[in-house]
Amino acid sequence: MNKMDFPAQGSTELVPDADVNSPEALAPYVDNGTDLFSTDRYVSEDWARAEWERMWTRVWTLAGLAADVPEVGDYFKYDLGPESFIVTRCGTGENDIKAYYNVCQHRGNRLVMSEFGSTTSFKCMFHSWEWNLDGSLKNIQDRETFREEVVADNPPLTEVRCEIWAGFVFINMDPDAGPLEEFLGPLPDHLKAYRFQDMKIVKDLETPWPCNWKIGHDAFIEVYHVHAVHPEILPFFHDTEAQWDCYENGMTRQLLKFGEISPKFADQESLNDGLKMMLGEVDVDPADFDGEPNEIRKFVQQAKRKWAEARGIDYSAYTDNQLTDDWNYGIFPNVTFNAHPEGLLIQRFRPHPRDVQKMTYDLMVLIHPVPDDPNYSVPAYMGVEEGTDLSGEVRPERRYVEYGEEGLGPVISQDAYMMAYVQQGVQSRGYKGARYAETEQQLRHWHTELERYLNGEK
């Protein structure tokens, strides 16, 4: 199927004259068929086991931020399903970051228990075996009490692949995996303008959700649910005319227009409060705007350029549309990026170590710091609380929030609320499997890729 045959509710090419190599170009449609998608993926322990063996242990996943290990000896812990990893800086070079399984080679104790830390060596709390930052063995306590054959190999820590893109540390348990850059496909190129490596973290939160990790993830690579779950954003968010692109390796994206009224919103004529807010954010008094509401998006794009220039902020690398829109990427298998010129919302969906019906949801917000500017804000839906230090000078502590507790921000809380009910519903004998709209083609693309891993095609 080419895009000409495509029904009206499918992807909209937002920049019809975009060069094929431009980040804004519409990707060729990927036909992933029309089959229903089985529900065992959300409830079956066999499925979860296969997923671990055939997918999780073979893909690159986002472990954390290189900025969290600035000095030699700094480390952070990254837990994924039943595994735990240590990511540490072992030298001063930009890429001198290594990752190890977080396990002592003596009797298997976890080496590191804290989320973040700084050390000169990794010493086990059980019998004091010790390793250097580069993973080589430093000391075996009372070594003379071991028969030499037992320790002759001076067991190092078991290393996992570790690569960095734009300040993000990814790891891969598969020693034979291809490089990260190849896995990410066109994403690094598309997202270059945002300079993620220069952003600073201002929000870091972790919360357990009572659902399979894929139920959580599914809800964030589509916007079909916006009219029902987040109707308050319809006055300034076009939820039906978006560009949906699918790429190799299960990667997806949505180019989502802010600054246009959804056709599902009743009042198409008035300059509503949402649009006024967008004008205010770029220092334009709504009273001074004499155009039509449907001209706001383009107007704000130009106003934001001037707004940035006046503050010495360099927005020259961004396209006009990037200045207003949400560039929303699904990074297979378990991360979404919502990129804006001001900042980036990262969501990560991690499987529970044992229970297929539980997951961990991680939320991080990064921003380009602008000290001493009370007018600088990040998009409201990101849930950055008022009073948050936006200077980027203080790394916020990671917060642990129970399901249903405040902290996610109003929009994501609305999504979170649904999750428990979807998990219950998909187990019903009365449910036959997922049927996807073309506005949810990202889900079909993503689940097709997952099935390739499970079928042994990957």
Q: What is the 3 state secondary structure string of the chain?
A: CCHHHCCCCCCCCCCCCCCCCCCCCCCCCCCCCCCCECCHHHHCHHHHHHHHHHCHHHCCEEEEEHHHCCCCCEEEEEEECCEEEEEEECCCCCCCEEEEECCCCCCCCCCCCCCEEECCEEECCCCCCEEECCCCEEECCCHHHCCHHHHCCCCCCCEEEEEEECCEEEEECCCCCCCHHHHHCCHHHHCHHHCHHHCEEEEEEEEEECCCHHHHHHCCCCCCCHHHHCHHHHHHEEEEEEEEEECHHHCEEEEEEECCCCCCCCCCCCCCHHHHHHHHHCCCCHHHCCCCHHHHHHHHHHHHHHHHHHHCCCCCCCCHHHHHCEEEEEECCCEEEEECCCEEEEEEEEECCCCCCCEEEEEEEEECCCCCCCCCCCCHHHCCCCCCCCCCCCCCCCEECCCCCCCCCHHHHHHHHHHHHHHHHCCCCCCCCECCCHHHHHHHHHHHHHHHHHHCCC
Residue closer to Fe ion, measured from CB, 191 or 419: 419
From the CB of 140, what's the least distance to ligand FES, in Å?
8
Among 55, 62, 80, 124, binds ligand FES (CB under 6 A): 124
Considering only residues 11 through 50, tell me which ones interact with ligand FES, judged by CB under 6 A.
Answer: none
Q: H helices of 109-252, where? A: 148-151, 180-184, 187-190, 213-218, 226-229
| Segment lying near ligand FES (by CB under 6 A), choices 102-110, 209-217, 325-333, 348-356 | 102-110
Binding of ligand FES by 143 (CB under 6 A): no
Considering only residues 192 through 211, tell me which ones interact with Fe ion, judged by CB under 5 A.
Answer: none
From the CB of 229, what's the least distance to Fe ion, in Å?
5
- Cα 11 from chain centroid (whole Å): 22
x/- track of binding to Fe ion for residues 414-453 (CB under 5 A): -x--------------------------------------
Binding of ligand FES by 127 (CB under 6 A): yes
Is 243:255 a contact under the CB 8 Å cutoff? yes
From the CB of 133, what's the least distance to ligand FES, in Å?
17
Nearest CA-CA partner of 391 in 372, 365, 407: 372
Using alpha carbons only, give the angle 218, 221, 227 rounded to the nearest 5 degrees: 95
Binding of Fe ion by 326 (CB under 5 A): no
Residue type at position 204: D
**Half-sphere CA count of 223, side-chain side, radius 13 A:** 29
| Segment lying near ligand FES (by CB under 6 A), choices 104-112, 183-191, 194-202, 319-327 | 104-112
Residue closer to ligand FES, measured from CB, 106 or 225: 106
| Segment lying near ligand FES (by CB under 6 A), choices 121-129, 240-248, 273-281, 432-440 | 121-129
| Segment lying near ligand FES (by CB under 6 A), choices 124-132, 168-176, 179-187, 308-316 | 124-132
Considering only residues 388 through 417, tell me which ones interact with Fe ion, judged by CB under 5 A.
Answer: 415
From the CB of 129, what's the least distance to ligand FES, in Å?
4
From the CB of 409, what's the least distance to Fe ion, in Å?
11
Among 38, 109, 272, 414, binds ligand FES (CB under 6 A): 109
Binding of Fe ion by 239 (CB under 5 A): no
Binding of ligand FES by 86 (CB under 6 A): no
Binding of ligand FES by 126 (CB under 6 A): yes
User: What are the tokens at 393?
Assistant: 């000078």
From the CB of 152, what's the least distance to ligand FES, in Å?
17
Residue closer to ligand FES, measured from CB, 124 or 233: 124
Among 3, 107, 192, 432, binds ligand FES (CB under 6 A): 107
From the CB of 122, what's the least distance to ligand FES, in Å?
10
Among 56, 129, 165, 361, binds ligand FES (CB under 6 A): 129
Considering only residues 278 through 297, tell me which ones interact with ligand FES, judged by CB under 6 A.
Answer: none
Residue closer to Fe ion, measured from CB, 74 or 415: 415
Among 106, 195, 227, 398, binds ligand FES (CB under 6 A): 106
From the CB of 219, what's the least distance to Fe ion, in Å?
6
Q: How many CB atoms lie within 10 A of CB 231?
A: 14
415 binds, among Fe ion, ligand FES, none (CB under 5 to 8 A by kind): Fe ion
Binding of ligand FES by 104 (CB under 6 A): yes
Residue closer to Fe ion, measured from CB, 163 or 326: 326
Number of residues lying near Fe ion (CB under 5 A): 1
CA 436 → CA 34, 99, 352, distances in Å?
8, 38, 26
Give residues in contact with Fe ion (CB under 5 A): 415
Give residues in contact with ligand FES (CB under 6 A): 104, 106-107, 109, 124, 126-129
